[in-house]
Amino acid sequence: MRKWINLVLVSSIILLSASVAPTFVSAEDEKTQGEQENVQNVGKAGGRASTKGNVGLKGNPDPDYPVNPGQGAEEDEELIETTDGATEGPYSISYISNFKFGTQFYEKGKDNTFFAKNDEIRVDKSGGHQTVKKPNFVQISDASGSKNGWKVYVQLEGPLKNENETTIDNMSLRLDNILVSPILTDLNDFQNPANITIQKKGVELTGKDNAPKLVGEAKGMQGQGRWHILFGKTVENGEKSVSLFFPKGSIKEPGKYQTNLVWTFGDVK
């Protein structure tokens, strides 16, 4: 016997650390060899004094803007229309897909696995607006200028719950086919995806365990810049990259079930 459930996982954000203390740098005038000799000769007959210069440096606090993944160079970026604002500070989350599983029919007495739909984003194109499908993804930005690196975590805020407060505790959510892509195509030492550590075996979250799970991390300054973390390389691949598993007997009644995913992004200290 088949019954239906409607499933939505909504994302929210936590920043580990969004501030960078100013770094003060002192500087002295550089002289050529001939000039240095002249200064030394003058110093023998007269007085000498030195001055110091300093400048305060800190990360860019302005929020980043979400863009369509895989569009190439910065000048070709297609902005995503969204009502969700980006977080402010040098560590910024600009966009997170909400995982939408739609209405699914489940069979009692059997294990059930359902896959999230690809994200449908509305982008601003030169000829107008267009809705395109993309694998679910997260956009982050490290404009801190620090050497602390960063980590991205995700966790379930609680089990799936329907309008009658009925929960599904022993479900599990899997994120597979994870990859990272720099938003700029001009790769350099600071935006080489090979320097970012991603959980290649995927990430699994369960309704009984709300502990945060590591999605990816960068060490030192290797995570500087803007990045997309995608769940699936292509739309076809993305259709099998975010899944919910319900063991036999875990679904007690039909209804619309929902929970929150909490994403945490910030520096490593």
Predicted confidence (pLDDT) per residue in 173-222, tens digit: 999 999 999 887 555 556 888 889 999 999 999 988 889 999 999 998 88
CB 119 within 8 A of CB 66: no
Could you tell me the pLDDT band of residue 75, with boundaries at 50, 70 and 90? very low
- DSSP for residue 67: B
Between the CA of residue 43 and those of 48, 146, 188, what are the distances in Å?
A: 6, 40, 46
Top pLDDT among 86 and 264 is at 264
Does 45 fall in a domain? no
Mean pLDDT of the region 4-28: 46
CA dihedral 177, 178, 183, 184 (to 10 degrees): -80
Mean pLDDT of the region 144-166: 90
Top pLDDT among 164 and 11 is at 164
Predicted confidence (pLDDT) per residue in 107-148, tens digit: 888 999 999 999 998 887 766 788 899 999 999 999 888 888
Does 40 fall in a domain? no
Q: What is the tally of structural domains in the chain?
A: 1
User: 9-33 burial, b if ≥16 CB within 10 A, otherwise e?
Assistant: bebebebebbebeeeeeeeeeeeee
Does 194 fall in a domain? yes
Q: How many CB atoms lie within 10 A of CB 146?
A: 23
Q: Which residue range(s) make up the domain with 113? A: 2-21+55-267
Does 49 fall in a domain? no
Does 27 fall in a domain? no
Does 224 fall in a domain? yes
Helices vs strands, H then E, count in the chain: 2, 21
Does 43 fall in a domain? no
| pLDDT greater than 50 at residue 48 | yes
Rg, C-alpha atoms of the chain: 25
Could you tell me the pLDDT band of residue 28, with boundaries at 50, 70 and 90? very low
> CA-CA distance, 65 to 72, in Å (whole number)?
16
Does 223 fall in a domain? yes
- DSSP for residue 186: S
CA atoms within 13 A on the CB side of 247: 6
| pLDDT greater than 90 at residue 3 | no
| pLDDT greater than 80 at residue 26 | no
Q: Give residue for tokens 């000048």.
A: 75
